């Protein structure tokens, strides 16, 4: 538990060491906050033992890593299904030119997304406090610890976030390139095509109605829809998902409830404090889609992975929205309420034996 406590406390207190009185100090503050946060996150993720988290790192990617040692580039499709997305495995094979140590791969594979997310937070957020909160949000809703086992998905999220950053900067060719790369890593990244229309939408009554309809459609009708679907697909490769549904392993969706509350708070902040920032409004759309998809993970657990694509794009916008509240006391109250809510969710989950995240075990043990 100590590594997690040290991580959260260290990142939380960073902004208090910097002043926003001048532009130079403000920029310096958020730059150092992002750099130190990146280093701390990388230390915890990169030096983890492969047994931490779910089984993927140890029992899926490690055997594939060993198999790749004995084949050429042209034979990768012999051991990996091309429909799963091959780009990460080619990256893995290139890495093996320099090192054949799997622990070093675990460290290396932790770098891309954390680096891209840190740069994205630095570019979008205006103050060190906003940067800090974007990192803490990322930790508290357990996207960070999912990186302990979702190696391929985190590579896809890297390109997904780069694609969204390209959209924000209106670099459409770059957006298409990163979108293709994301899909080449993981087929679920096909949802990158939604980034463009979502970036054009703005919060209004019609959008709110559609969002509410989608939310209740997933939460109230999703079970019947997926039950019918699995009736026909349970004898095929989709039996894996049917198992989760039939075992009711994902009926309790605490994070979906937490995100729903946070989404309402996000909406209230935008309306009550008249936030007009374009990225904040776009980020709300992405956060909303991520929330709805998270509710769907009650029926298909892998939907939370798709939700992560949109949440990581939207989290910094939430942080900026709070930072743009003009009155300092109101801003502090909002930060404290949301921080407290996230803490209440995070700490019981991190100690759950099923998550296999506690105690923290390093690769050196």
Residue 85 within any structural domain of the chain: yes
Give the mean model confidence (pLDDT) for residues 18-32. 88
Highest mean pLDDT among 192-196, 210-214, 217-221: 192-196
For 319-344, write each residue's pLDDT tens digit: 999 999 999 999 999 999 999 999 98
Residue range 242-249: mean pLDDT, rounded: 46
End-to-end Cα distance, the chain: 16
pLDDT at 98 over 70: yes
A 10 A CB-CB count for 93 gives 18
- Report whether 218 contacts 336 (CB < 8 A): no
Q: Does residue 120 share a domain with residue 56?
A: yes
Q: Are 116 and 158 in contact (CB under 8 A)?
A: yes
The answer to whether residues 205 and 351 belong to one domain is yes
* 207 and 183 together in one domain: no
Question: Is residue 365 included in any domain, yes or no?
Answer: no
Q: Domain ends where: 170, 192, 214?
A: 192
**Whole-number pLDDT of residue 58:** 86
C-alpha pair distances (Å), 59 with each of 53, 110, 326: 11, 18, 50
CB 316 within 8 A of CB 283: yes
pLDDT computed for residue 200 by the predictor: 78
pLDDT tier for residue 115 given thresholds of 50, 70 and 90: very high
Using the predicted structure, report yes or no on whether residue 157 has a pLDDT greater than 90. yes
Q: Is residue 363 part of a domain?
A: no
User: Tokens 């033992």 label which residue?
Assistant: 49
pLDDT category, 205, cuts 50, 70, 90? Answer: low
**2 domain residue, yes or no:** yes
The answer to whether residue 293 is domain-embedded is: yes
Of the listed ranges 72-76, 148-152, 233-237, the least confidently predicted one is 233-237
Same domain, 222 and 346: yes
Does residue 138 contact residue 122 with C-beta atoms inside 8 Å? no
> Taking 80 as the threshold, does the pLDDT of residue 275 lie above it?
yes
Cβ distance 345 to 325 under 8 Å? no
Residues whose CB is less than 8 angstroms from the CB of residue 303 and which lie 6 or more positions away in sequence, other chains included: 293, 294, 296, 297
The DSSP symbol for 60 reads I
Q: Is 361 within a domain? A: no
pLDDT above 60: residue 104: yes
337 and 226 within one domain: yes
Separation between Cα atoms, residue 168 and residue 314, nearest integer Å: 12
pLDDT of residue 227: 60
The reported pTM is: 0.90
- Mention every residue, 6+ apart, whose C-beta is less than 8 A from residue 5: none
Are 229 and 161 contained in the same domain?
no
307, 293 contact by CB (below 8 A): yes
Residue 174's CB: how many other CB atoms inside 10 A? 15
Q: Which of 316, 338, 331 is nearest to 143 (CA)?
A: 316
Would you state the pLDDT for residue 207?
A: 65
Same domain, 288 and 224: yes
Mean pLDDT computed over 221-240 = 54
pLDDT of residue 74: 87
Say yes or no: 25 and 138 in one domain: yes
What is the structure's pLDDT at 344?
86
Residue 298 lies in a domain: yes
Domain residues for the domain of 246 are 201-355
> Taking the CA of residue 359 as centre, how many other CA atoms within 13 Å lie in the half-sphere pointing to its CB?
4
What span, in angstroms and rounded, lies between the C-alpha atoms of 200 and 196? 7
Mean predicted confidence (pLDDT) in 67-88: 86
More confident residue, 201 or 217: 201
The helix or strand, by DSSP H or E, that contains position 138, with its residue range, turns out to be: helix 128-140
Mean predicted lDDT score pLDDT of the chain: 86
* C-alpha span between 100 and 121 (Å, rounded): 33
The widest CA-to-CA distance across the chain, in whole angstroms, is: 64
The answer to whether the CB of 8 falls within 8 A of the CB of 139 is: yes
On whether both 116 and 20 belong to a single domain, the answer is yes
Region of residue 125 (phi > 0: left; psi between -120 and 50: alpha; otherwise: beta): beta
Let me know whether 21 and 141 are in one domain. Answer: yes
Residue 168 clears pLDDT 60, i.e. is over it: yes
Best-predicted range by mean pLDDT among 135-144, 184-193, 247-256?
135-144
Same-domain status, 115 and 219: no
In a domain, 32, yes or no: yes
CB atoms within 10 A of CB 115: 14
Q: What number of helices (H) and strands (E) belong to the chain? A: 17, 0
Q: What are 339's two structure tokens?
A: 């921080």
For residue 55, name the pLDDT band (cuts at 50, 70, 90): confident
Say if residue 109 is in the same domain as residue 42: yes
As for how many domains the chain has, the answer is 3
Q: Token pair 């730059």 is at which residue?
A: 31
Tokens of residue 323, six digits: 């930072």
* Long-range contacts (CB closer than 8 Å, 24 or more residues apart) made by 23-28: 26/126, 26/127, 26/128
- Counting residues of the chain whose pLDDT is more than 70, the rounded percentage is 84
């Amino acid at each position: 538990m100590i590594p997690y406590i040290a991580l959260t406390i260290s990142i939380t207190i960073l902004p208090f060491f910097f002043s926003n009185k001048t532009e130079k100090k403000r920029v310096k503050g958020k730059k150092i906050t992002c750099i130190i946060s990146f280093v701390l996150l990388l230390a915890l993720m990169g030096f983890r033992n492969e047994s931490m988290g779910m089984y993927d790192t140890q029992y899926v990617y490690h055997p594939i890593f060993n198999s790749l040692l004995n084949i050429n580039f042209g034979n990768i499709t012999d051991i990996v299904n091309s429909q799963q997305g091959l780009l990460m495995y080619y990256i893995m094979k290139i890495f093996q030119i320099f090192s054949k140590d799997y622990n070093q791969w675990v460290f290396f594979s932790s770098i891309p997304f954390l680096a891209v997310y840190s740069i994205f937070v630095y570019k979008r957020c205006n103050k060190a406090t906003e940067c800090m909160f974007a990192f803490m949000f990322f930790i508290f809703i357990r996207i960070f610890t999912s990186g302990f086992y979702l190696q391929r998905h985190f590579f896809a999220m890297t390109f997904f976030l780069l694609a969204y950053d390209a959209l924000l900067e209106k670099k459409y060719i770059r957006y298409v390139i990163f979108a293709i790369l994301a899909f080449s890593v993981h087929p679920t990244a096909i949802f990158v095509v939604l980034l463009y229309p979502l970036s054009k939408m703005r919060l209004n009554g019609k959008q709110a109605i559609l969002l509410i309809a989608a939310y209740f459609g997933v939460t109230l009708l999703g079970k019947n829809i997926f039950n019918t679907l699995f009736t026909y697909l349970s004898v095929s490769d989709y039996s894996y998902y049917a198992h989760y549904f039939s075992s009711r392993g994902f009926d309790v969706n605490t994070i979906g409830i937490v995100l729903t509350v946070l989404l309402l708070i996000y909406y209230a902040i935008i309306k009550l404090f008249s936030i007009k920032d374009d990225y904040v409004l776009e980020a709300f759309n992405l956060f909303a889609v991520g929330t709805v998809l998270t509710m769907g993970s009650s029926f298909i657990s892998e939907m939370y992975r798709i939700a992560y694509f949109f949440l990581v794009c939207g989290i910094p916008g939430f942080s900026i929205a709070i930072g743009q509240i003009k009155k300092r006391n109101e801003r502090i109250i909002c930060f404290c309420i949301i921080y407290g809510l996230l803490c209440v969710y995070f700490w019981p989950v991190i100690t759950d034996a099923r998550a296999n995240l506690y105690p923290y075990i390093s690769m050196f043990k």
